[in-house]
Amino acid sequence: MTSLGQPMRREEISVPSLAAGDVLVRVAGCGVCHTDLGFFYDGVRTVKSPFLTLGHEISGVVEAAGAKQGYWIGKAVIIPAVLPCGECDLCRKGRGTICRQQKMPGNHIDGGFASHIIVPGRYLCQVPVHDESTSFGQSGVTLRELSVVADAVTTPYQAIKNSGLTTNDLAIFIGVGGIGGFGVQIAKALGAAVVAIDIDERKLNLLSQYGADLILDPKALDKKAIRQALQNFVKEKSLSPFEWKIFETSGTKAGQELAFGLLTHGATLSVVGFTMDTLEVRLSNLMAFDARAIGNWGCDPKYYPEVLQLVQQGQIKLASFVQIFPLSEINNVFERVHRRELDKRPVLVPDF
C-alpha cells in the first residue's frame, strides 16, 4: 500500500463482507507494469485517492464469493485489468473498455500487490490449472507467471485485433519491452511480417529469437535510415509498401514521434504506450496518407480466452520474458524497473 511517490509499506486489512457480485481472490502473482511506475513516480493520477494498493496484472485462486458468484470458489483465474460494468450503454455497444463504471485494480480499486484482492466476478478468466504450481498446457508456465496476461499480453492483442492486421501484413513495434515484446510474438503468430524497433540491444536480440523478422536500433539509425530499411525489407520480402500496421508501444516522446513519422498510405497507427510528454505532429499527414491513428485502453475480457489458447499452444512464450520476485522486495523491484535494470517483466509473489 502506498501514498503515491512514498515507499510502499505493508498493512493488514480485514476482509469486508462481499457484495453479491464480488469474489475474494488469493493472489498468485502480480506483474509490474509501466503504468504502475507512472502512478508511483510520474504523477499520473489514480481514480481512487491514495492510500492505494497498486497492481493490475493479477492471477490467483478464488477463495470466497458473494451470493451470485459461488461458481468461482476454488477456481484459478486471471483478473482482467479493465473490468467493465456490463450494464451501461457503452457495454451494450461492445465498448466495455471505455465503460465509465469500469474498475481497474490499482487505479479505481485496491490492486494486486497484496495477498488477496476483492473484484467483481463477472469477467474473470478461468485458467484450467489445479493450483499455483501446476504447469499450463505446453507453455510450461504456472499461474503466477500467467498474471502478465492480464495486461502485457492482452493489451497488445486487442490493439492488433483493432488494427485489422492480417496474414502478410507488415507489423512494426516501436518499443519492445513488456507490451511491445509480447505484441511481436502475437503478430508473428497471426501471420504478419514483424519489425522490432528499440534502443535496447538486449531486447532486440531476444525478440529476434521470438518473432521479429527485422530489428532496428534508433541509436544507430536516424528516422530517414529507418524508413529506408523498412522499404528495403518490404521489397525483399515482397510485402505491400502500403497499409503498414504501426504499434507505438514504447510510451516515450521519441517513440511516438518516430511512429507518426513512419506513416504511409493506408497505414494504421495504434497508440498503446503512455507518456505524460507532449509532441508536435502534422495531423494533415493522416489526411494525405488516408491513414488512421487509434488508441487502445486495456483489453475487452472477451479476448482473454483467445490469448490463453495462444499461450497454451506455445505460440506466445512467457517464461523467457518474466522474472519472479517476492512481494516483500517491491520497493527494490520498483527502483530497478525505474532505472531500467531489469530485462524481464517482474512478477511479485506474496511471501507473507
Q: Are residues 247 and 327 in the same domain?
A: no
185 & 221 share domain: yes
Residue 139: the pLDDT is 66
Look at residue 241 in the predicted model and tell me its pLDDT.
96
Q: Cβ distance 267 to 289 under 8 Å?
A: yes
Q: Does some domain include residue 113?
A: yes
Rg, Å, the chain Cα set? 20
Cell of 254: 521519441
Spatial separation of the C-alpha atoms in residues 194 and 192, rounded to whole Å: 6
CB contact at 8 A, 108 and 344 = no
Same-domain check for residues 146 and 158: no
Same domain, 227 and 159: yes
If asked whether residues 254 and 178 sit together in one domain, one would say yes
The one-letter amino acid code at 285 reads N
Residue 164 lies in a domain: yes
User: Which alpha helices (H) appear in 253-303, and where do they start and end?
Assistant: 253-261, 284-288
One domain, residues 290 and 158: yes
Q: Tell me the Ramachandran region of residue 263: left when phi exceeds 0, alpha when psi lies from -120 to 50, beta otherwise.
A: beta
Evaluate whether 184 touches 176 at the Cβ level (below 8 Å): yes
Per-residue cell: 185: 510474438
Last residue of one domain, picked from the residues 295, 312, 333: 295
- Quickly list DSSP for 99-140: -TT-B-BTTTB--SSSSEEEEESTT-EE---SSTTS-BGGGT
Residue 11 belongs to some domain of the structure: no
- Residue 15 inside a domain? The answer is no
Do 164 and 248 have their domain in common? yes
* Residue 5 domain flag: no
Considering the domain architecture, whether residues 168 and 243 belong to the same structural domain is answered as yes
Q: For the segment 24-41, what is each residue's pLDDT rounded down to a tens digit?
A: 999 999 999 989 998 998
Which amino acid is it at 241?
P
Question: How many domains are there within the chain?
Answer: 2
Question: Within a 13 Å sphere around the CA of 214, how many CA atoms are in the beta-carbon half?
Answer: 21
**Residues 118 and 38 placed together within one structural domain of the fold:** yes
pLDDT of residue 285: 97
Cβ–Cβ < 8 Å for 334, 2: no
Do 306 and 342 share a structural domain? yes
Rounded to 5 degrees, φ, ψ at 109 are: -135, 165
Structural domain contains residue 180: yes
Question: What end-to-end distance do the CA atoms of the chain give, in Å?
Answer: 15
> Residue 137 domain-assigned?
yes
Q: Give the 3-state secondary structure of residue 333.
A: helix
30 lies in the same domain as 139: yes
Q: What's the rounded Cα separation, in Å, for the pair 169 and 191?
A: 8
- Is the distance from CB of 126 to CB of 110 less than 8 angstroms? no
SS3 79: strand
CATH code at position 55: 3.90.180.10
Q: Which range marks the domain in which residue 85 is found?
A: 22-151+300-349
**What is the four-CA torsion angle of 283, 167, 33, 15, rounded to 10 degrees?**
120
Indicate which CATH number applies to the domain containing 277.
3.40.50.720
CA distance 124 to 9: 28
In this predicted model, what pLDDT tens digit does every residue of 114-144 receive, in sequence order?
999 999 999 999 998 866 766 776 667 899 9
d(CA 41, CA 175): 20
**DSSP assigned state of 289:** T
CA atoms within a 13 Å half-sphere pointing along the CA-CB vector of 271: 14
Q: What is the DSSP letter of 246?
A: E
Same domain, 121 and 40: yes
326-331: long-range contacts at Cβ-Cβ below 8 A with a sequence spacing of 24 or more? 326/350, 326/351, 327/30, 327/113, 327/114, 327/351, 327/352, 328/10, 328/352, 330/8, 330/113, 331/7, 331/8
Segments of the chain scoring below 50 in pLDDT: none
In a domain, 228, yes or no: yes
